[in-house]
A and B are shown apart, each in its own frame.
Chain A
Amino acid sequence: MGYSFIFYKKMVNKEKIFIGLLILVIILSIGSIMIMNNIDSDDVSEKINYEGEQSSNINLGILETEKNSGEGK
């Protein structure tokens, strides 16, 4: 009686360990699926195709011409 109880207990522990391993496999599978789906090689190509842009200025001041302003001869 005592021997069969110990045997039954061992079986229960083995089952628990097996179920635990299965749950671990499921979690790892889900994790790998999520990681793989987050890998996006387009991010790399976006950096490669970066566009550079720079600005410059062209300045001048225009005074009234003398004939327009009435300062001429």
Chain B
Amino acid sequence: MKSINVFMVVAVIFVLFAVVNLIIHFDDVIKLTGFSTGSDTGTANVTIMSQASIQFTANTIDWGIGRVNETETSALLVTNGTVKEGNWTEVSTGLLLQNDGNTNVSITLTSTVADSFIGGDAGTNLYQLLVSDTGAGEANSCDTAHLIMDTFTEVDGTAQSACTNFSYYDAQDLIEIDVLLRIPEDATPGLKSATLTATATPL
């Protein structure tokens, strides 16, 4: 067999293989390029990719330093301005979380349990969260049908669902996360700090 014939056979095999490969990956090429089929109107298409993005516009709650009143067994601190049976500084606004992406998202909240954060008697200490789109939040950011943490809910150390449809529309993209702490009189003195992590998943 002449070498030219060998080359011819090899070339045909490679071309056939390339065509088969193109057919196999045709869907990928269409997705990647946004190639449009069956149109004769000269339409220009643009695809805006969705991006999930959230940010805390108020990311710190600091009650300062205080103690449980002498005659009480515990003190109650809530970010609606409540400080009962203690002398901590009142905090009247919770954490504010904004959806600054371009897609609705679901939100989970994760933090440490009360025993680790506050300490003291395990039957007395409380670390609870409440999510709302009223008050400092923006109305309709998370409607009642999708608001899971609409009552004070004990933090259990896992990722807890807070809102299953957090809107990204302007003026409807801000939720408030209120915090409630009950500090037992036997909680170990010292500076206490908990990190609260919000995770957004695009819908």
A and B are interacting partners: yes
Contact status of A39 and B8, CB under 8 A, knowing A61-B192, A64-B189? no
The distance in angstroms between the C-alpha atoms of A67 and B70, with both chains bound, is: 6
The answer to whether the Cβ of B17 comes within 8 Å of any Cβ in the partner chain is: yes
Q: Are B17 and A65 in contact, CB atoms less than 8 angstroms apart?
A: no
Tell me the minimal C-beta distance from A14 to chain B in angstroms: 10
Residue from A29, A37, A58, A65 within 8 A of B194 (CB atoms): A58
User: In the complex, which residues of chain A have a beta carbon less than 8 angstroms from the beta carbon of B17?
Assistant: 29, 33
The distance in angstroms between the C-alpha atoms of A35 and B152, with both chains bound, is: 55
- B11, B49, B54, B199: most-surrounded residue (chain A CB, <10 A): B11
Residue from A41, A49, A60 within 8 A of B192 (CB atoms): A60
Tell me the minimal C-beta distance from B20 to chain A in angstroms: 9
**Secondary structure at chain B's binding surface: helix, strand, loop or mixed?**
mixed
Residue from A32, A41, A49 within 8 A of B22 (CB atoms): A32
A interface residues, how many (CB within 8 angstroms): 40
Q: Are B196 and A57 in contact, CB atoms less than 8 angstroms apart?
A: yes
Mark interface residues in B56-72 (1 if CB within 8 Å of A CB, else 0).
Answer: 10011111111111100
Residue from A19, A26, A30, A72 within 8 A of B70 (CB atoms): A72
Interface residues on B, range: 35 or more
Tell me the minimal C-beta distance from B48 to chain A in angstroms: 11
Residue from A30, A44, A57, A72 within 8 A of B31 (CB atoms): A44
User: In the complex, which residues of chain B have a beta carbon less than 8 angstroms from the beta carbon of A1?
Assistant: none
Mark interface residues in B175-203 (1 if CB within 8 Å of A CB, else 0).
Answer: 00101010101111111111111111110
Residue from B56, B67, B95 within 8 A of A64 (CB atoms): B67
Q: Are B54 and A52 in contact, CB atoms less than 8 angstroms apart?
A: yes
Contact status of A56 and B198, CB under 8 A, knowing A25-B15, A61-B65, A62-B189? yes
Mark interface residues in A28-70 (1 if CB within 8 Å of B CB, else 0).
Answer: 0110110011011100100111111111111111111111100
User: In the complex, which residues of chain A have a beta carbon less than 8 angstroms from the beta carbon of B70?
Assistant: 65-67, 72
The 3 A-B pairs at the shortest CB distance, nearest first, are namely A61-B65, A29-B14, A63-B67
4 more contacts with CB within 8 A, not counting A36-B29, A65-B185, A68-B186, are A22-B11, A47-B49, A55-B195, A60-B62
A residues in contact (CB < 8 Å) with B:
15, 18-19, 22-23, 25-26, 29-30, 32-33, 36-37, 39-41, 44, 47-68, 72
